[in-house]
Structure 1
């Protein structure tokens, strides 16, 4: 049962503030006034919770089914935005969405989508090549439409459509950096920064040289 079918009187939790009781591989128990809430979260969010007894405040997405109420927690609003967006992709459930966010922080996921880097997404548990391709393909239009592009490097690097990134010196520079051993999403982010600083007409060799400098920082 989804949100449209919430039982009458069902609590829709949007935020929890309390202390860490325990942390497991895919969830934590947050003690709020003596009540322990099981909150599922990405590995990156769980890693930020701290030791038992640490104060914590998490944004919550509440999912209700006929047989269970599940809470999903996020340290930042942008991670929750990505989680919700990923759930709109066929084949991506809550577990898979958290798996993707465990290996790719929001800014890294934005770069992977902009660069159409399915290999980066496929690093997540439960994500095969076909699903990874579907994620980067379908998310390319959703990212800018729901404001997720601001997750990129201080909001300065645009989430470009593949047609924008696939032609001309930018694509050649990205390919050159990939051939040097960098991940496609990293290479795309570096080249995009260079183009923003120096303009869209920068020469290919300059893109590569300055791209390497960005990657070395």
Structure 2
């Protein structure tokens, strides 16, 4: 059972990446958020891994944050939610938003994901309510994707509730301009980490510059 991988990020494509560990390439599926936090190839990264063994395949799912991995496990306990659907949900809604959505009984955070209709979203809210009630509100920027600079350096260098608020404000503004959260999240998270102390207007301007490409 593989629980963590540390190696060179060979490439990132679509919904997965290839991590080279001592010459062995591991295909790791991940949310758009986690893929956006990976350092650029060929830098070294460390990802948390969930291994799913099936009769016909062994699949690896990677996570930048322990919160995201915990929610992946939680989501896949719900009937009708497989690994791919769980990743789709985590690509459009971060753990902090899912936690809030379950408490507020708001289906939107789930129905934005591919493969999740109103019926499944209602089931998610119903089955997760009692489980989430026992969980603390998740930290949003405790990244575990490590760049090669050292054990304390993460790809998501920002942290704390301040950056969380900035991130959410930026995402809401970009959503209002027509950009999907799934495509905006990785860019906004990285820009906040790279531009410590930057205000909302700066983050939005930089994000628009990249999204316009």
Corresponding position of 1:21:
10
Q: Does 1:80 align with 2:69?
A: yes
Query: RCO (CA 8 Å, sep 6+): is it higher in 1 or 2?
Result: 2
SS in 2 for 1:107: helix
Aligned pairs for 1:51-62 within 5 A: 51-62=40-51
Q: Are the counterparts in 2 of residues 110 and 152 from structure 1 also a CA contact under 8 Å?
A: no
TM-score by length of 1: 0.63
**Which 4+ residue blocks in structure 1 deviate beyond 4 angstroms?**
152-155
Q: Does 1:119 align with 2:105?
A: no
Quick one: which of 137, 149, 155 aligns to 1:150?
Answer: 137
State the Cα deviation string for residues 61-98 of structure 1 (Å, max 9, x = none): 10101110000101111111100010110110000000
Q: Does 1:136 align with 2:148?
A: no
Quick one: which of 79, 88, 92 aligns to 1:99?
Answer: 88
In structure 2, distance between residues paired with 1:106 and 1:55: 25
In structure 2, distance between residues paired with 1:120 and 1:80: 17
TM-score by length of 2: 0.64
State the Cα deviation string for residues 115-142 of structure 1 (Å, max 9, x = none): 1110221000111111111112211111
Decide which structure has the larger Cα Rg and report it.
Answer: 1
Q: Does 1:45 align with 2:18?
A: no
SS in 1 for 2:100: helix
SS in 2 for 1:63: strand
In structure 1, distance between residues paired with 2:27 and 2:129: 33
In structure 2, runs of 5+ residues without a counterpart are 141-159, 162-175, 177-213
Q: Does 1:34 align with 2:26?
A: no
In structure 2, distance between residues paired with 1:152 and 1:118: 21
Quick one: which of 56, 64, 68 aligns to 1:67?
Answer: 56
SS in 1 for 2:133: helix
State the Cα deviation string for residues 167-214 of structure 1 (Å, max 9, x = none): xxxxxxxxxxxxxx9xxxxxxxxxxxxxxxxxxxxxxxxxxxxxxxxx
